[in-house]
Chains A and B, each alone.
Chain A
Amino acid sequence: MSAIVLAVIGLVAISSGYFFYSKFIAEKIYQLDPDFETPAHTMRDDVDYIPTHRIVLWGHHFTAVAGAAPIIGPAIAVIWGWLPAFIWVIGGTIFFAGVHDFGAIWASVRNRGTSVGSFSGDVVSPRARTLFMIVIFFLLLMVNAVFAVAISDALVASPSAVIPVWSAIAVAIVIGVLIYKVGVPILWPTIIGTIILYVVIYVGDRVPVELPEVFLGLGAAPQWIVILFAYALVASLLPVWLLLQPRDYINGIQLIIGLGLLFGAVFIANPTIVAPAFNTNVPDGTPPLIPLLFVTIACGAISGFHGLVASGTTAKQLNKETDARFVGYLGSSGEGLLALVTIIAVTAGFASLAEWEATYAAFGTTGIATFVAGGSTIIAAGTGLPVEFAATLLAVMAVLFAGTTMDAGVRLQRYIIQEWGTIYKIPTLQNGYIATFLAVGACLALAFGAGGADGQGGMSIWPLFGTTNQLLAGLTLLVISIMLVKLRRRYIFTLVPMVFVTIMAFLAALYQLWDLFTSQQYVLVGLDILIVIAAIFVLLEATSAFFREKRAAAAPSG
């Protein structure tokens, strides 16, 4: 099958989702009101609450929610064939993610722009708020570990990306100083910085860097994990204007150029999809498609993490309530497109079915490296760039992306630990350095517990991360559904996705419990047990809250 057909079907479906389905949701279900005064106006403080142009807000929302996850998820999940992954990504983006992200913004705007976790206490019950806190903590813990493992694997697989990835930090610092300290207008540092970055990619392509195979008893991938966390430790203590801010910015530019190049190349080269639609010949040890597909691809189909960004930050900056559709729904559509192009890269970027099957020889061993291998073949065929250069370019794009997620994750976790110090009156925890060390230490332990030490575990933690992410999405959809019940509106459009993702996450957690136990990964077994318990509570809470509100809504008023 031609990859162009798949790309066109995906693009048309996602666009129709925006033009028709999201319009229906905006008008009939959430009933957006252009005259409603948003918290950005009523509570304007120019710090958190500030009305922002919808295109700028969309750009910010999209780059804040997009990470390496829509690349890694589909790159693992096509092992069951391209069709299930394609259907879940497209269907999920249209009917699940869009409604979820858009709904989180709407619900938050109607609750003074606070985060969905905090107003769930008022809308649903205080128990729901506690559940939110627990699930968010697990998610942050896993996000850092999972991305550290993903980056280290990618750096081992693409030694040519090492120099550009670390040079990007230097480029970012120079841009940060030029803009913040020297006051140079933004356009020139942007153009020159981007050019330098691509020159360094060329240099990296010529001069690959590999770490020693074994150093102090650690293999190459674990060595990278240690280096990455050492970097994250320093980065999260530096002022944001010096590193994080310019780094986010140049990564955003990288992403736009990379995505444009990849989509363009698909249309020029028109590669053929070599992978089967349904893989009947899955390798031994591959888990069942249901429920694992639905947690392997989280971001790109539906992701609870988006709800945190949508309700905590984006909602505070929404100029008009009707902008929520543009920002929220199109934000998740952008993620869907990233997942779509990944599916194409990892199924059409190989010369033959045999080559594809050799790459997908075991579950959970694929990821960024597979996307790079497949995507670079397509870019080379479409643009005439050397395949090695294209591979370095994509590897750098994906690694930088995962890197910023990790930076932000460590910083967030440090804030949580400091907050605990304040709540429980432990002054030691309030210290920024100690909190950062604890945050990094916890993530490092998890990264090694997930099989980093011998490099064999690979991405075994990935489905567990997806499960937590889906549970969070389920919780957010529950809050939105309850709000709709209270307003006596149709809730089926948010309740069905909620029930679906929560049940899939629950089943996946149960399946993994057995799987991790038999493979003796006891750290993850412990974590999984906690997630199963959280899932049971989410389902119980949802059932009780839903029927309670339905009875209340049905009772005659007055």
Chain B
Amino acid sequence: MKWADIKEKLRWCAYLASEAYNMPYRSTVARARREQDDLFMLLIFSEMMGIPNPATYYTLELQPIMLERFHDWHTRMGMEHSPLDGFRCC
């Protein structure tokens, strides 16, 4: 067996091991990450929803970046349409 073959086999083993490690908990970890993201989203748009946020000056800059994910967020939070009056995303 050539060295390259052995390396290929090892790589396949490493792939299987990492899938075996990660797969069972992928959804749990992804869900936890999404919950943190949701909270972050709430912080960024908090002023628009009437919740005072002392960091608005800084979070304002992030709004255009987060806007892409805004639709997903409000539908996941159980609101069919955007809850904000300022702009409508759908």
List residues of A whose CB falls within 8 A of some B CB: 46-48, 50, 52-53, 55-57, 59-60, 63-64, 179, 185-187, 190, 239-241, 244-246, 248-249, 252, 313, 317
Neighbouring A residues of B30 by C-beta, 8 Å: 46-47
Contact present for A48 and B27 (CB under 8 Å): yes
Cα-based distance from A245 to B24 in the complex (angstroms): 8
Cα-based distance from A240 to B32 in the complex (angstroms): 10
Given contacts A47-B34, A53-B19, whether A64 and B24 have CB atoms under 8 Å apart is yes
Cα-based distance from A336 to B10 in the complex (angstroms): 30
Given contacts A60-B23, A249-B21, whether A240 and B28 have CB atoms under 8 Å apart is yes
Interface residues on B, range: 20 to 34
Contact present for B24 and A186 (CB under 8 Å): no
Q: Which residue of B is nearest A248, CB measured?
A: B24
What are 17 A-B contacts with C-beta separation under 8 Å?
A: A47-B26, A47-B31, A52-B19, A52-B23, A55-B16, A57-B23, A59-B20, A186-B18, A187-B10, A190-B17, A239-B32, A240-B25, A240-B28, A241-B29, A246-B21, A252-B20, A317-B23
Judge if B13 is at the interface, Cβ distance under 8 Å. Answer: yes
Contact present for A187 and B29 (CB under 8 Å): no
Contact present for B29 and A240 (CB under 8 Å): yes
Contact present for B21 and A63 (CB under 8 Å): no
Give the contacts of B18-71 with A (CB-CB under 8 A).
Answer: 18-21, 23-32, 34
Neighbouring A residues of B25 by C-beta, 8 Å: 240-241, 244-245, 248
Neighbouring B residues of A317 by C-beta, 8 Å: 23
Neighbouring B residues of A57 by C-beta, 8 Å: 23
Contact present for B34 and A56 (CB under 8 Å): no
Cα-based distance from A60 to B32 in the complex (angstroms): 21
Judge if B14 is at the interface, Cβ distance under 8 Å. Answer: yes
Cα-based distance from A311 to B70 in the complex (angstroms): 31
Neighbouring A residues of B27 by C-beta, 8 Å: 47-48, 313
Given contacts A46-B30, A56-B19, whether A187 and B24 have CB atoms under 8 Å apart is no
Contact present for A179 and B34 (CB under 8 Å): no
Q: Which residue of B is nearest A63, CB measured?
A: B24
Given contacts A47-B31, A186-B18, A240-B29, whether A56 and B23 have CB atoms under 8 Å apart is yes
Interface of B (DSSP majority class): helix
Q: What number of A-B contacts does a CB cutoff of 8 Å give?
A: 55
Partner of A186, one of B14, B28, B29, B32: B14
Neighbouring A residues of B16 by C-beta, 8 Å: 55-56, 59
Instruction: Give, as a whole number of angstroms, the nearest-CB distance from B42 to chain A.
Output: 19
Q: Which residue of A is nearest B33, CB measured?
A: A47
Contact present for B23 and A186 (CB under 8 Å): no
Cα-based distance from A241 to B17 in the complex (angstroms): 16
Instruction: Give, as a whole number of angstroms, the nearest-CB distance from A274 to chain B.
Output: 38
Cα-based distance from A48 to B26 in the complex (angstroms): 8
Cα-based distance from A497 to B48 in the complex (angstroms): 60
Cα-based distance from A55 to B17 in the complex (angstroms): 12
Neighbouring B residues of A50 by C-beta, 8 Å: 26
Instruction: Give, as a whole number of angstroms, the nearest-CB distance from B90 to chain A.
Output: 18
Cα-based distance from A141 to B24 in the complex (angstroms): 23
Neighbouring B residues of A239 by C-beta, 8 Å: 32
Neighbouring A residues of B23 by C-beta, 8 Å: 52, 56-57, 60, 317
Neighbouring A residues of B13 by C-beta, 8 Å: 187
Neighbouring A residues of B18 by C-beta, 8 Å: 185-186
Given contacts A186-B14, A187-B17, whether A60 and B24 have CB atoms under 8 Å apart is yes
Instruction: Give, as a whole number of angstroms, the nearest-CB distance from B72 to chain A.
Output: 10
Neighbouring B residues of A53 by C-beta, 8 Å: 19
Contact present for B20 and A56 (CB under 8 Å): yes
Instruction: Give, as a whole number of angstroms, the nearest-CB distance from A168 to chain B.
Output: 16
Neighbouring A residues of B28 by C-beta, 8 Å: 240
Neighbouring B residues of A52 by C-beta, 8 Å: 19, 23
New A-B pairs, 16, CB < 8 Å, besides A53-B19, A186-B14, A241-B25: A48-B27, A50-B26, A55-B16, A60-B20, A64-B24, A179-B21, A185-B14, A185-B18, A186-B18, A186-B21, A187-B10, A187-B13, A187-B14, A248-B24, A248-B25, A249-B21
Instruction: Give, as a whole number of angstroms, the nearest-CB distance from A15 to chain B.
Output: 23
Most buried by B among A56, A179, A185, A313: A56
Q: Which residue of B is nearest A55, CB measured?
A: B16
Neighbouring B residues of A46 by C-beta, 8 Å: 30
Q: Which residue of B is nearest A239, CB measured?
A: B32
Instruction: Give, as a whole number of angstroms, the nearest-CB distance from B59 to chain A.
Output: 26
Neighbouring A residues of B32 by C-beta, 8 Å: 239
Neighbouring A residues of B34 by C-beta, 8 Å: 47
Cα-based distance from A252 to B22 in the complex (angstroms): 13
Neighbouring B residues of A252 by C-beta, 8 Å: 20
Neighbouring B residues of A187 by C-beta, 8 Å: 10, 13-14, 17
Instruction: Give, as a whole number of angstroms, the nearest-CB distance from B78 to chain A.
Output: 13
